[in-house]
Amino acid sequence: MVQTMLASVADGQGNPYYAGEADGIKGSETKDAVKRFQGDAGLSADGDPGPQTRRALFGVYMDWLCTPASAYAQQNDPNQAAPSPLHMQSADFLGGAGAQPGDLPQMSLQSCGKFNPVVLLEKSEMNETDKTERNEDDAPNRRVVMFFFAKGTTIDPAGWPCPKVKDENNACKAAFWPDGDQRRQNGDARRTYQRAHDTMACRFYDRWARRSPCEGGLARQSADFFVYPAAQDGSSAGSQLEASWGDALRLGWLIGGSVQTLTISNDAVGASADVTGYSQTKGGYTVGNVPVVVPPDAVEVGTATYKLAVNRATGSVNLRVHVRISGVAPDPPTWALAPLVGVDEADDLGLGAPEPICPWPCSPDEGDGDS
């Protein structure tokens, strides 16, 4: 977040403070950018984006974000008046300004807590001792959503079921679906709101969210990675699958926004393959699938984990699916990432028949998907 803002706002010479990749790592380049900004903002230049730095940076970033582009482009033209950024006033929010300065009216700001998750991880992942992967996978739930209304919209607060942000949230449960508590329980498989539409407890917010591209649909920066048997159409795909050695599977994806590269990897065998060629763009989304088979040397303790790296100009995200293996391993072993060629379901998403992708050089008789 800090890197993105520093890459957006410019110094006195018109140069962005940060020019590197928004990777979330506070390395030397990021610290130098923070120091430059702190110096220009009259703060102690220690390279740490603490509360005072964030307050200053957030303000400058919002001024940049809320300034009309045409005016912003002319701000350094001495013949043009400096543009005026949009500054939201408390009275501009739904619910008005409140009776007293500093009030947070009932409709202007809500805090749903953990009532409306957009992803529910597997119970097995929630119970793992190392929480690093769990925290990364749970990141979509730590979000802020803004809804915009036509200017002048008014709503009677008496009809608004949500309590004020600082009030007890007991009133929230009165607006729950009858199975609200069950909806947000972790299960044996991962569930997402974008695919299942049954992870939110509050029916009031659910009815808003399903119409939002940020919640109900695939947002511009969203990404979904799933696995399913090759003989099926993928409608019941998920992030976890029970399979046997040698089973033919498909790894599929549905990703919003502009994608530079997609890479599938299997760390257990150190194999990876660029799969951008197995994707196509439909309505602003990158869709695709790759057939794979379950190899005995691609698993650890009976589970194969495949990862999908989504690289965009704005940064990257890593997704993963798990395949739990049962049965006896075949001999010879099958490939770790090799697509099956000539499978009838290869054009499920209009991609055409796939060609082999070998994570290592293919021999002339490799590529028929049988070995």
Alpha helix ranges (H) inside 127-283: 132-137, 180-183, 193-196, 203-209
Q: What would the 3-class secondary structure string for 286-297 be?
A: EEEEEEEECCHH
- CATH 2.60.40.10 in the chain, residue ranges: 223-347
Element (H, E) at 30: helix 28-40
Query: What average pLDDT does range 268-279 have in this prediction?
Result: 72
The tally of CA atoms less than 13 A away on the side-chain side of residue 130 is: 3
Domain 2-73 in this protein, CATH class: mainly alpha
pLDDT at 358 over 70: no
* Block residue for tokens 């299960």: 187
The answer to whether residues 205 and 215 touch, using CB atoms and an 8 Å cutoff, is no
Q: Sorting pLDDT into bands at 50, 70 and 90, what band is 345?
A: very low
Per-chain mean pLDDT for the chain = 75
Short-list 36, 63, 62, CA closest to 49: 36
- Which range among 186-195, 228-237, 297-306, 314-323 shows the weakest confidence by mean pLDDT? 297-306
pLDDT at 178 over 90: yes
- Which range among 57-66, 80-89, 112-121, 256-265 shows the weakest confidence by mean pLDDT? 80-89
Query: What average pLDDT does range 47-62 have in this prediction?
Result: 91
Query: What average pLDDT does range 318-340 have in this prediction?
Result: 59
Note if the pTM is more than 0.85.
Answer: no
- CATH 1.10.101.10 in the chain, residue ranges: 2-73
Fold classified for 223-347 = Immunoglobulin-like (2.60.40)
pLDDT score recorded for residue 344: 35
Cβ burial of 279 (10 Å; 0-12, 13-18, 19+) is buried
